[in-house]
Amino acid sequence: MNIIPMFLKELEQEAQTTRKMLEIVPTDKFKWQPHPKSMTIEDLTVHIVDLPNWLALAVYTDGLNFATEPYNPPTAENTQGLLDLLEQSVAKGKEALQHISEEELLKPWTLSNGDVILQNYNKAEVIRVAFCQLVHHRAQLGVYLRLLNIPIPGSYGPSADELSGEYQREAASIEL
């Protein structure tokens, strides 16, 4: 069984769902957070759009050491900026997946912070973790938007807002 075509399909499906969620993020709420320990919407959405880049990180490197390679997230000024960053990240992830072999997916990959090993994976596992993180944080964004009383789209089926018709009415009135 070839896993790379499945990864490419999953990336496109998750990107499509992520686009729908990001399209409704109001720029004027970028600094909002539901709790002082929570990320702001801006930080959360920037993390979401950056996650497909982890596919390229898995493909082109043997690991990440936070002590020598600190995380510098991209920035977005508005909702359209988030969507643009997502497209760049997805394109980079697709390109990386098209340049790796099935055998290379089994090579080791290490996440560390200095001498402390945080995780030992193979490259395929890093890709799976990136997809899981994308889904997890997108769901977190859905909760944020729900708390702001913003109707949300469905992810793997219709949302309650779509079933009631509220999402379509709200989506039609959103300006980027």
Residue 47 assigned to a binding site: yes
Evaluated on CA atoms 101, 115, 135, 85, the torsion sign reads negative
Helix axes 79-97, 41-50, angle to 10 degrees: 20
Residue type, 9: K
Q: Which of 140, 25, 38, 40 is nearest to 85 (CA)?
A: 25
Q: Which of 109, 90, 103, 104 is nearest to 9 (CA)?
A: 90
Bind-site residues for a divalent metal cation? 47, 137
Bind-site residues? 47, 137
